[in-house]
Amino acid sequence: MVKREDYDQWVIDWIASEKKAGRKCFDVRKTGNSYYVYYQTTRYNPELKKREKVSSYIGKLTQDGLMEPQSKESDIVEPARYGLGVDTGGTFTDAVIVDLDDMTVIAKKKSPTTHHDLSIGLYNSVDAVLSATDIDPSEIVSVGISTTLATNSVLEGRGGNVGLILIGWDPIEPVHFGESRQAFVKGGYDVRGRAKASMSLEEVKTAIMDISKDVDAIAISGLFANLNASQERKVKELAIELTGLPTIAGHELSSELGIGLRAETAVLNGKLIPVVSAFFDDVVRTFKEKGITAPIMVYKGDGSVMTIEQAKMYPVQTILSGPAASSMGGKIISGYEDFVMVDIGGTSTDIAVMEEGYPQIQFMGAEIGGWRTRVKAVDMYTIAMGGDSKISIVDNRFVFGPRKVIPLCTFTERHPEIVDTIMHTDVYDYYILREGADLSDLNERETIVVDGMRGKGPMSRMDVINSADGLWDIDDDLNGLVSKRIIEMSSLTPTDLMVYMGDLNAGNPDGSRAGVHAVSEKFGMTEKQAATLMTEEIRTSVAQAILTKLVDDTMEDGWKNRETTMFLRRMSSLKRDSDAFSMIPRINVPIVGIGAPSKFMMYDIGQRLGTPAEFPDNNDVGNAIGAVCSKVVESLSATITPTHDFRYKLEVPYLGPSYYSQVNSAISAAKSSLKSFLVKEVEMKGGTDIRTTTKVRTVMAVEGGIGDWEETGVARNINYIEVICRAVGDPPEAR
């Protein structure tokens, strides 16, 4: 089957222009060097009890235009293919149904994310999106999910107990990676992947039984197992046989050097297994109840997908899956291959750079909650500012976030009585005890605060102090109770500014106006002036974050200081001119905004940064679209370096070093090894119709120099060469 990416560019441009003009859904088919256009409709076949797609031939496509047919061909009837995408974000759980043939969004719905049980919000969104269309659940052939569960579990310190076995390591000082139990056994390999010592079966059995007591999972990490994983595999097989516990080996998650680094990643993965497994079991049950039997794919943090069973075993790979899904969703709805993706949700703003249709990858792994995962993840820059971020005033300047709160427009819809209070007192921070909150884990001070708030409705900070017997400095207590979701906090947010400025119709607009009024009183200006000032600060902050990400990608560590930050802020502002010169940035690729607040918070971003900015249709659910429309992708790189004896050393992860007399032989061997390995990895994850691409990058000894290994004169100055391979497969579908 000919794929859309195989079309000539002029055909792709024609398709884009037709879609932009809003014309009826169509298909273009390639036969030889000719293209034929079909208009499409969807109908229900009562005999098959399934929806089907009917394509009617209308003409041959040439660069001069569309030629009408001389004779009418028979209609082409094909089964309809629909995908269901779900993204659980910090504020909303989004669900979409997408036509997988032309990526058209058929229906989309949002439901509040239920943090105490994510499966509830997921069920509500899936139920709503199915109810919004007459598509039968059996017609869903593919399901994609991105979730914040692993990320939030790490940040909140939740997880199970893990037993850790370390092979062939004799550290001088005690080591600890967050495990509950630990054991060392003989073995390990050297830098060439050769065994340092043989393993004792009895020693390994004893270690397994010792560390498996009262744990939820087992982690294994061996010395240089990234070069030779045989010992880790044997210990894993034995551990599963003896205990039946979920067991993970370090080499399965990371090819990084360092037994301790791989051990930390394996332990973190083990801690997440019991938390994530329960959620995914609920997901499977939810879809079965809805009559959906399609394969369920889970989004990974590197912009790829894996099966739900693999996600239960390797949950650490789902960290940052939400922002990664937004990157791919941005590609689909914008049509761009190279762009800057800016995803603004309720809690944060995530920025990633897309190159050739895929996000840049951080091979060192995402760092989150004090853990360095060492698992490939999208190279993302994040600031804690979103639509529901608290707007504070500190030293007469505005600070956005990091606290996520309930917007005043939403809060005053339930508690309209505080609108007048805000207008008269200019106090717009309010707290309320959450109904049904778990009060079993309170310390003495928190208990006093909670007891003072019972049955009193919304309270200001001073109201809480007056009700908390003997407590005055309660800020830490309030913050702790908000983090535990025992009390809720409401304050002025960017969402309220959107409501006040007329860009959003939501909640009680009087509540938003009251918050803006309070700020205007503090600064001695009109409400409109205050709202305009806060909006300018928001847009400047987003622009500055984008520039920070791009500069960070091109500069070495240490470039950030007070002066460089001031320069970036000046370039991000619309008021950046001095008498003698202007500091105007220019970004060479477009910006694509994802998320409901993105257009408001980046309304003039193109003017600020000197590049086109787009907010495509359905950008409010771009993450869910990415979750269901993405591919199974695996990538890996190998390095080639010249040696002192005029040979070329090739290092491929998991294989160890090898040596070649000719550089072309080393490059060919690298390509062959990487392709073979990655194709098997994609097949294991359910991928079909697999394609591979390789890119060779040469780094010269002279800084910034780029050369060609085939040029003998240039090759003498080569520092190293990197061979990067990517394998891409289609996710499995229901048949």
Q: Please write the tens of the pLDDT for every residue from 502-559.
A: 998 989 999 999 999 999 999 999 999 999 999 999 999 999 999 999 888 887 777 8
Query: At 11, phi and psi to the nearest 5?
Result: -70, -45
pLDDT digits (tens, 9 = 90+) for 390-399: 999 988 888 8
pLDDT at 373: 67
| Contacts (Cβ under 8 Å, ≥6 apart) of 527 | 500, 513, 516, 517, 520
Helix 527-554, helix 509-523: angle, nearest 10: 90
Q: What percent of the chain has pLDDT over 70?
A: 89
424 vs 54 pLDDT, higher one? 424
pLDDT above 70 for 70 = no
3-state secondary structure of 514: helix
Q: Do 256 and 130 meet the contact criterion of CB atoms below 8 Å apart?
A: no
pLDDT above 50 for 2 = no
For residue 731, what are the CA distances in angstroms to 89, 281, 420, 734?
A: 23, 20, 55, 10
Residue 228 pLDDT grade (very low, low, confident, very high; cuts 50, 70, 90): confident
Closest residue by Cα to residue 654 from 633, 634, 636:
636
Q: Which tokens is 731 given?
A: 């996710």
pLDDT at 703: 40
H or E element: which one contains 99? strand 92-99
Q: Do 496 and 405 meet the contact criterion of CB atoms below 8 Å apart?
A: no
Of the candidate ranges 72-76, 98-102, 291-295, 389-393, the one whose mean pLDDT is the lowest: 72-76
For residue 267, what are the CA distances in angstroms to 18, 217, 232, 252, 371?
A: 52, 9, 14, 12, 10
pLDDT digits (tens, 9 = 90+) for 114-124: 877 888 888 89
For the residues of 56-107, what is the DSSP string, one character each?
A: EEEEEEETTEEEPPSSPPPPEEEE--EEEEEEE-SSEEEEEEEETTTTEEEE
Beta bridge partners of 123: none
Q: Do 141 and 81 meet the contact criterion of CB atoms below 8 Å apart?
A: yes
Beta bridge partners of 270: none
Q: Which tokens is 38 given?
A: 């079909």
Residue 700 pLDDT grade (very low, low, confident, very high; cuts 50, 70, 90): low
Pairing mode, strands 688-700 and 718-730: antiparallel
Q: Do 481 and 446 meet the contact criterion of CB atoms below 8 Å apart?
A: yes
* Cα 159 from Cα 599, distance rounded (Å): 37
Q: Do 304 and 730 meet the contact criterion of CB atoms below 8 Å apart?
A: no
* Cα 733 from Cα 735, distance rounded (Å): 6
Helix residue ranges, H only, 356-504: 408-414, 418-425, 444-453, 461-467, 475-483, 494-500
pLDDT at 538: 94
What is the amino acid identity at position 116?
H
Closest residue by Cα to residue 574 from 612, 616, 535:
535
| Contacts (Cβ under 8 Å, ≥6 apart) of 82 | 97, 98, 99, 100, 106, 135, 139, 140, 141
pLDDT at 54: 73
pLDDT above 50 for 589 = yes
pLDDT above 80 for 250 = yes
Of the candidate ranges 283-287, 380-384, 548-552, the one whose mean pLDDT is the lowest: 380-384
* Cα 417 from Cα 458, distance rounded (Å): 9
pLDDT digits (tens, 9 = 90+) for 436-461: 777 877 888 888 888 888 888 899 98
Q: Which tokens is 50 given?
A: 């399934």
Beta bridge partners of 197: none
pTM for the whole structure: 0.77
Tell me what the pLDDT averaged over the chain comes to: 84
Of the candidate ranges 44-48, 339-343, 443-447, the one whose mean pLDDT is the lowest: 44-48
Q: Which tokens is 304 given?
A: 């790829």
pLDDT at 471: 79
For the domain bounded by 156-276, which CATH number is listed?
Answer: 3.40.50
pLDDT at 418: 93
* Cα 374 from Cα 357, distance rounded (Å): 23
Dihedral sign of CA atoms 655, 661, 663, 667 in order: negative
Q: Where are the domains of the chain?
A: 4-79, 156-276, 389-525, 631-730
* Cα 578 from Cα 732, distance rounded (Å): 58
Residue 567 pLDDT grade (very low, low, confident, very high; cuts 50, 70, 90): confident
Helix 527-554, helix 562-572: angle, nearest 10: 120
Q: Do 538 and 400 meet the contact criterion of CB atoms below 8 Å apart?
A: yes
pLDDT digits (tens, 9 = 90+) for 101-156: 777 888 899 888 887 788 888 889 998 998 888 788 888 888 999 887 777 777 66
